[in-house]
Each structure stands twice: as structure tokens, then as C-alpha cells.
Amino acid sequence: SQQGEEDPQALSIQEGENATMNCSYKTSINNLQWYRQNSGRGLVHLILIRSNEREKHSGRLRVTLDTSKKSSSLLITASRAADTASYFCATVGYQAGTALIFGKGTTLSVSS
């Protein structure tokens, strides 16, 4: 079963605007990762945040994690048309394996 639930399911914005996507999960996690998927480049890792971290930045990306609420958010600032893609949060638990458990994703459309 899928662990994360992204919100919203779909988001349409104009270039230059910020995009915020949220993710909620159900069980305790070791870390949470965000991935982007588009037809051109497949599934690509964006950023990883550990359970003892609250915020992380990478370029135009900002990720927050609230383990008390079991939620995370991904902020993309100054969006570009090239950011058009599906975005997935994926969690890793404390079990021995390191497989990702993905949510259903948010589809982001950025128009110029």
C-alpha cells in the first residue's frame, strides 16, 4: 500500500510563481525524499530530508518536514516551464530494507 498522500493532486501556475506541494504519511520514517517524473527524464531524485531535520534547501527547492504531523512540503520558487512534471514524495522506514514507499504524486503544470 502507498504511504504518502500528496496534495493537491494537480496544480497549474504561471511562470515565476511559487508552487507548494504537500505530502502526508502514516508511519514513522527514517527519511523522506522528493522525486520528479516527466516523460523526458524519467524519475529523478530532487532532495532528501532526514527525520531529525526540519528544513532543507537545494537551489529553488525548499523542503520542510514535521514528524509530529507526519507531513512534508515541497516549495519550488520562481517556477519555470521546465518544472512541469509529476512530483512524488517517498518515505523510507526503519526496517532493514531501504525501499521507497511513494505517494500518488502531484502533477504540476507551469505555463509561460
1 versus 112: smaller Cβ distance to another protein: 1
Write the binding mask 42 to 81 for another protein: x where contact by CB under 8 A, - elsewhere. Answer: xxxx--x-x-------------------------------
Residues 6 or more apart in contact with residue 39 via CB below 8 angstroms: none
Would you call 84 helix, strand, or coil by DSSP? coil
What is the spatial distance between Cα 6 and Cα 22, in angstroms, rounded to a whole number? Answer: 5
| Contact status: 20 vs another protein (CB under 8 A) | no
Q: Which stretch binds another protein (CB under 8 A): 12-20, 31-39, 60-68, 73-81?
A: 31-39
Among 50, 73, 51, 78, which Cα is nearest to 62's?
73
Write the binding mask 80 to 109 for another protein: x where contact by CB under 8 A, - elsewhere. Answer: --------x-x-x-x-xxxxxxxxxx----
60 versus 104: smaller Cβ distance to another protein: 104
Would you call 104 helix, strand, or coil by DSSP? coil
Among 103, 85, 90, which Cα is nearest to 10's?
85
Which residues lie near another protein (CB under 8 A)? 2, 4, 30-31, 33, 35, 42-45, 48, 50, 88, 90, 92, 94, 96-105
